[in-house]
Amino acid sequence: MALLEIRDLNTYYGKIHALRGISLTVEEREIVTLIGANGAGKTTTLNTISGLLVPKQGSVHFDGEDVTHVAPHDMVAKGVVQVPEGRRIFAQLTVEENLLMGAYIVDDKAQIAEGVENAFEMFPRLKERRSQVAGTLSGGEQQMLAMGRALMTKPRILLLDEPSMGLAPNLVEYIFETIERIHGEGTAILLVEQNAATALTICHRGYVLQSGQILMADTAAALAGNEDVRRSYLGEI
């Protein structure tokens, strides 16, 4: 049984049919990537899984339970946490206060303190800036903070939406190394990433989305070697 399974998802924005029968799985301790052009439905897929959008048809199952109509905060409690595109940090709060916001469902003070220290251990730069107002951080530091905040509840699966967007190449490398480290500690990851070539180097499998439908699904190695994928999404001719 897959950790996450979505079946025949059909999601709308008003009259716009954004997802058209999407089905996919993510296994325990697996990294899976969604590849596609802007508007293909990648973010909509993540938002539907996390409960921010309710599908008109289809279902979302997590750990064998139908969670299609579960509210976003309850999805977090179940172990499904999303890091949204654009980071969405609390700009007026400090770094440490942002991390604490990520633990809003946790009652155990010792667990919260452990989560903060784990975030600082994973992102030493955040520890140096723990009292700094988050809105004054660089883009890379804000991405670190968004990921650290998401890890405060020890999720079983992390939904990452464009974590490298707008970052310098050295920071992109650091973010991908961190994704691998998070995975190595036992967290499954569903990754939406514009840098498809790099994403395929760390993922086990991938799905190619086009116009709200799955065009192709295969191992990361097979997708990376596919001529159509290389031409359309990896920038190769």
> DSSP letters of 151-195?
GGG--SEEEEESTTTT--HHHHHHHHHHHHHHHHTT-EEEEE-S-
Residue 32 three-state SS? strand
SS percent in the chain: helix, strand, coil, step 5: 40, 25, 35
Query: Domain boundaries in the chain?
Result: 4-87+155-232
Check if CATH label 3.30.565.10 holds for domain 4-87+155-232.
no
Q: What's the CA gap between 105 and 153, in Å, rounded?
A: 8
User: Helix 139-150 and helix 169-184: axis angle, to 10°?
Assistant: 10
pLDDT tens digit at each of 237 positions of the chain: 899 999 999 999 999 999 999 999 999 999 999 999 999 999 999 999 999 999 999 999 999 999 999 999 999 999 999 999 877 899 999 999 999 999 988 888 999 999 999 999 999 999 999 999 999 999 899 999 999 999 999 999 999 999 998 888 888 999 999 999 999 999 999 999 989 999 999 999 999 999 999 999 999 999 999 999 999 988 765
Residue 22 near residue 214 (C-beta atoms within 8 A): yes
Q: What is the DSSP letter of 105?
A: T
Question: In this structure, are residues 65 and 231 in contact, taking their beta carbons and an 8 Å threshold?
Answer: no
Report pLDDT for 133.
95
Specify the DSSP class assigned to residue 70: -
pLDDT of residue 234: 86
